Amino acid sequence: MSVDSRWLPCRVKIESDLSITGYDGIILVSSSPPGTNEPEPFKTVLYAASQIDAALSYIGGVLPINLPARRFIYSPTGPLNIDYHDVRSFNEAANRGVCRAIDAGVRCPMIVLQPDLRFENAELVTLLGALEALYVPLEVREISADRCYKACQLGVWSPICGKKLQGIVKLATMLESGRFVARDIGGATAERMTPCRVEEYVGELFHETSVTVQVVSDENTLLQEYPLFAAVNRAASAVPRYRGRIIFLTYEPQNSASILETILLVGKGVTYDTGSADVKAVDGMIGESRHKSGAGVCVGFLQVVNLLQPPTVKVVAALCIVRNSLGENGFVTDEIITAKSGQRIRIVNTDIEGRLCIADALFHIKEMALCSVNPHIFTIATVMASAKQAVGSGYSIVIDNVIARNANNAETLQASGELMGDPFEISRIRREDFESYHVGVDGDDLRQGLTTRVNYERIQQGPVAFLLIASGLNKHGMESSSPLKYTFVGITSHISADHDLAKPYHGNPILAMSYCYLIQGKCLTIRNDPPAEMQYVRDVDCKPDGGITSSYPRGIIGDSVKNPCIILPYTQPPVENPCRCTSERVAVTQIPADHMVAQSPCPPNVKRNGLKSTV
C-alpha cells in the first residue's frame, strides 16, 4: 500500500542519474575517510578538499560540485569502532547533513545512500535519518501552508542494485509514516492534542483503511468498565474537551483463517499531568504533555501495520487518553478503588496516575487475548523520570513476564533494535517488585505505589509488577492453564528529563518493534515485491500554483530566486555518468487490502493541518 501524502515530511523519489536537474543540493553520508570509498564524482571532490581541510573527516562541509545540484553536502559519521558503535551513527550523520543542507538554502535535496558491510541496514537507517530531519511539528504545519514542509522533495540515489533500492525506499517511507504520526501525537501540546482531538486525529488517519476505530467515552461506561481510568478522569471530565476516552484500533487480515499471531497493545496517553492533588510543585510541569507518547507509539505502529498489510498478524491497540487535572472533583490519596479485575487498590499518590489509566484496559486486553491466536500483550508507557537514569537518553526499556522471557522476546527485540538504530536495554522483574505493592491493611489488596515520589529502588520494574497484579495477568504464568506473553516497553528515556522542549520526541521504538514483529521473517514483500512501474513512493504535487486547491497544502518550492547560483556552473559531462544505475525494475503482485471503513469522528473536509479543503 502506498503512503498517503499527508503522513510524510515530503515527497520521496528514486533517481537513477546524479546529473538529473531539479535538485539544489546532494547529501552524502560516509563512514570512510574522505576521498577513499565514495562513488565518483564525490571521491575526487572529497580527496581535493581533504588536502586543505583536516577537519573534513569529522565535521563535513558544503562543497561545490560539477553537477546540476551545484551544492555537495558531506556529512561523515566520523571514525567508527565496530566494537561499540552501531548503525545510529548513520542516522545521526544523515540528520546533520539534511539540517546543514537546509541551513545552506537547499529546498530540494538528494541523498546518496552508501552501503556499509559492517551494518546490514546502513542505507535504510541513513534514509530514515534524513526523513526525520525533514519532519515539521504538527502545530508549525498548522500556522500556514508555506510552513508545512522543509523541503518539497527528497531524491534518493545509490550505487546499489535498483531493485534493492526500491525496497529500501518503500520500507523507509512506511516506517517514517508511523514515526510521523507518533511525533504528531506525542510531541503536540496539551491543547492541540486534547483527548477529543486525539480521537479526531486518529479517526482521520485511519478513515477508509483496514484499521477500524472504536471509542469508549461515555462516563457511565468508563466508571463501570474502567474504574481506575475513571478516577483519574474525574477532575478533567468537568471540561468537555478534556474528557477522557479509550480508543480501540483493530487491524485484521482479510483472511482471518490465516492469522498466526495476535499483537495486543495498551498505550499510555496522558495528555497532560499536573499531578492532581499531589501537584507537581517541586520540579514543575514543563514537558508533561509528552506523557501521551505511549499512545502515539501504538498509533504509529498501527500506521505501519496498515501500510504493510501483514497477512498473518492481527493487531489490536487500546489507547488510554486522559488528562490528569487538578480540580474539586479530582481523586485523592487514601481512596480505595476497585479495579475491573476485582482488586481493591489504595491510592497513595495521585501523581503516579499512568498505571491507573492503563490497568483496566490491560484487563480487557487480557480477556481478549484468552480467545486470540498466539497472543502477545504489550504496554507502552512513560514511567517516572528517574527511570531514565538507569539506561540513559535514547534507550527504550523492555521487561518480559516469564512466558515472554522463555520465548526470548526481549533479546529478539533488542537485536532488532540494534539492526534499526533503535536500541533497547533489558530489565527483569523480580520478587521484590511484587512484595513492595502488597499492604497489610484490612480490605486492601494492592497499594498503588510507594509513598516517596522518586528515587526509590527498582523504579522501572515496580510499575510492571503493579500492572500484572491489577490487571490479573499475574494469574497467567507458567503454572496457569492459559499462560500469556506480556511485555512492558518503557519509553521515558525518549522524553526530555530537563524540561527542554527543544529536544523533540522521535517516535521510538516504532522502528525496532516494526522490524521485530512485522518485517523480520514475516513480510517477504519488502525485498521480493518492490513497487512496480513508478519510482514515486507517493504522488503529491509539491509546487503550489495559484493558491492551494487540493485537500492538503502541497509544500514549498526551492526556486532559483531563493537559491541563487553561487556555486560553480554545471557543464554537461562528455560521457555517460559511470555511476548511473541501470538495474531494471520487475513487475510485482499487488496484495489486496481489506478496506474496512472506520467510523471517523473527523468531518471529511477538515484536514490534520487545520485548513479546510477548497474542493
- Lowest mean pLDDT, pick from 126-130, 268-272, 595-599: 595-599
Laid out side by side, the sheet with 344-346 consists of: 336-338, 344-346, 446-447
Assign domain 209-494 to a CATH class.
alpha beta
- Give the confidence band of 494 by pLDDT, cuts at 50, 70, 90: confident
Annotated catalytic residue, options 43, 147, 280, 453: 280
Annotated catalytic residue, options 355, 388, 538, 554: 355
Residue 280 designated active-site: yes
Assign domain 5-180 to a CATH class.
alpha beta
For the chain, what are the domain ranges? 5-180, 209-494
Phi and psi at residue 330, in whole multiples of 5°? -75, 155
Report the chain's mean pLDDT, rounded to a whole number: 84
Cis peptide before 41 (omega within 30 of 0): yes
Phi and psi at residue 600, in whole multiples of 5°? -90, 125
pTM of the model: 0.85
Interior angle at CA 75, CA 70 and CA 80, nearest 5: 155
Interior angle at CA 302, CA 221 and CA 411, nearest 5: 110
Cell of 154: 527528497
Residue 355 designated active-site: yes
Q: Does 209-494 match 5-180 at the fold level?
A: no
- In the prediction, which pLDDT does 285 show? 85
- CA-nearest of 583, 592, 586 to 531 is 586
Judge whether 346 and 263 are in contact, CB under 8 Å. no
- In the prediction, which pLDDT does 438 show? 79
308-319 pLDDT, tens per residue?
999 999 999 999
524-579 pLDDT, tens per residue?
344 333 333 333 333 333 333 333 333 322 232 233 333 333 333 344 444 443 33
C-alpha atoms less than 13 angstroms from C-alpha of 496 in its C-beta half-sphere: 16
430-482 pLDDT, tens per residue?
998 888 887 767 878 899 887 555 556 787 888 999 999 999 999 999 999 99
pLDDT exceeds cutoff 80 at 353: yes
Judge whether 494 and 279 are in contact, CB under 8 Å. no
Average pLDDT rounded to a whole number, residues 359-368: 98
Q: Which residues of 535-574 are buried (b: 16+ CB within 10 A; e: fewer)?
A: bebbebebebeeebeebbbbbbbbeeeebeeebeeeeeee
Dihedral sign of CA atoms 400, 402, 403, 405 in order? positive
